[in-house]
Each structure stands twice: as C-alpha cells, then as structure tokens.
Amino acid sequence: TLTLNIQSNPGGSALAGDYDLTVVNGVATWTATQGMYLNKVGTGYVLRASDGTRTTDSSSFNVTHAAANSLAWTTQPATGAAGTNLTPVVEIRDAFGNVTTSDSTSVITLTIQTNPGSSSLAGDVDLTVASGVATWTATEAMYLNKVGTGYILRASDGTRTADSNSFNVTHATANSLAWTTQPASGIAGTDLTPVVAIRDAYGNTVTSDNTSVITLTIQTNPGSSTLAGDVDLTVASGIATWTATESMYLDKVGTGYVLRASDGTRTADSS
C-alpha cells in the first residue's frame, strides 16, 4: 500500500480523499474516483509517497483557486458614530475559502438588511473588486446617518450574498438645537411647556449630554412681555423638557411671539 502525504505545504492545505492505495502490478494509480485533492491555494506543494519502507517526493506544483462560490466579510462594519466612514472588506471566495484573485471586474453592492434606525446608506455603496477583494476606505465616505442598535449590511455581487455581523450606530457630535415641542398659543401666565433637543448633524439627539444648559429668550416680542420663570434648564440625555412645574410663561397679550433657545454655542432661532 502506498500512502501520500504533504511534504511541502505552502498553503496550509489538507490532503483529502483516498490517499492510501494498494498497488496493482507494482503501480498505484490515483484516478478521479478517489477524490484525492488539496484545498488551499499555494505555490510549491510537494507530495511524498511511502510504502512504509521507501519514500519518494513529487516535483513541486501549484494549486490555484476554484470557481467563485461565496462572499465573505473579512473586515466587519464596526460600531461607531453616525456619519463615520464604514470601512469593511468583502471577498469573493471559492468553495474552499480561497479568494478568487483572478477576478477584478465583479462589483460588490452593499445594502441595509436590518435597519433599526431607518437610516440611509450614503456614499459609494458599489465597489469593483481588485483581485477578488472589495476594500472600502475612508475615501469612499460610505456611512449610516441614524442612531440604531443592530444594523446588518448585506453584500451582493448579483449572484451571491453575505450578511455582516450586527453593529450599532451612535450619535455624532452636537451640531444644532431643535424645537421638538413648540410653545403653543395660550393665555397670559399659562405655563409654556416646550421641548428642545441637542442634535448632531444628522438629526440624532445627543443622548450622552446631561450637562448642557438650554436658555430661552424672547426673539420676537410683540407685546413687550417678560419671559418669567425657569428659563434655564439642564438637558437630560440631550433633551430639555419644560413642564408645568417650571412655571415658564409670558405675561402680555401679543400676536407673533417667537422664542430663541441657546446652549451658549448653538441657537435654535425660531420657535
């Protein structure tokens, strides 16, 4: 019986199939029915044949990739702030996990498979592979713009698909103020109960902020009123919510009052 094993293994391959064969008339002939093969790309493989007493090594030979079979995320999109470039890497592989390096024409397209924040995927979502690999870099400016927990992207080359691991998007840095509840028309002395949020450039509330102080002032004052009560309010998770307990009100009749909210850096001009 002759046994084959790998003497030089540049690709870290396994030798699969019937690598033990009984000789017939002194000859061991491996055919397609034995299904004996290497599964990893490599240059300079050498096999060794042995009958337990004698050995002989083959000439060196190479193994190339098989036909494209699947896509694989080799660098996953990572949790980060809204608007931060996602820089994943997706490979086209054969059935044995080898990159199909002969492919420099296929286009990988990314889409959102699970969208907890109702985000859009902005930037260069289509990328042509180079030697079987699509590598998104900062120059592609490909990002999500809404906060969410559990995003999943899908990569597709039109034939094969692969989904990423789940990841999260957090808010970016504070950029603006927004009135989320407007002061309503009412009677003099009636509590105004507006809500003002600190937001990033993509409209996400900056929930990490529990220290900024929002101050309200009168921007347009048709009745020459004063703004009484608690006009300064510290945000909680990026939101300043005036309630009836603050007793913040105007005291003069007027048509067309406008309030201004400010945190000392940003303003929301018009209520």
Q: What's the mean pLDDT in 216-239?
A: 95
Q: What is the pLDDT of residues 26-51, one digit of tens each?
A: 999 999 888 899 999 999 999 999 99
Enter the DSSP assignment of 53.
S
Q: Report the distance separating Cα 63 and Cα 90, nearest Å.
A: 23
Neighbours of 47 (CB within 10 A): 20
- Categorize the per-residue pLDDT at 163 as very low, low, confident or very high, splitting at 50, 70 and 90: very high
Task: Inform me whether the pLDDT recorded for 269 exceeds 80.
Answer: no
Mean pLDDT of 113-134: 96
How high is the pLDDT of residue 117? Answer: 97
Beta carbons of 82 and 35 less than 8 angstroms apart: no
The pLDDT, as a whole number, for residue 246 is: 79
Residue 206 is encoded by which pair of tokens? 């900056």
pLDDT classification of 139: cutoffs 50, 70, 90: confident
* Number of other residues whose CB lies within 10 A of the CB of residue 265: 11
Contact 263, 231 (CB under 8 A): no
Closest CA to 135 of 88, 102, 103, 98: 88
pLDDT of residue 161: 98
pLDDT exceeds cutoff 90 at 70:
yes
pLDDT in tens, 170-225: 999 999 999 999 999 999 999 999 999 999 999 999 999 999 999 999 999 999 99
CA–CA–CA angle 16, 17, 20 (5° rounding): 110
- Mean pLDDT of the 108-113 span: 97
Q: Answer whether residue 244 shows pLDDT above 90.
A: no
Per-residue tokens: 239:
């939101």
Which pLDDT belongs to residue 267?
A: 86
Range with lowest mean pLDDT among 27-36, 78-87, 110-119, 203-212:
27-36
Q: Is pLDDT of 234 > 90?
A: yes
How far CA 158 is from CA of 70, 72, 137, 153, 191, in Å, comes to 11, 14, 22, 15, 59
Task: Give 140's pLDDT tier (boundaries 50, 70, 90).
Answer: confident
How many other CB atoms are there within 10 angstroms of residue 268's CB atom?
A: 21
- At residue 247, the pLDDT reads 81
Average pLDDT over residues 51-64: 97
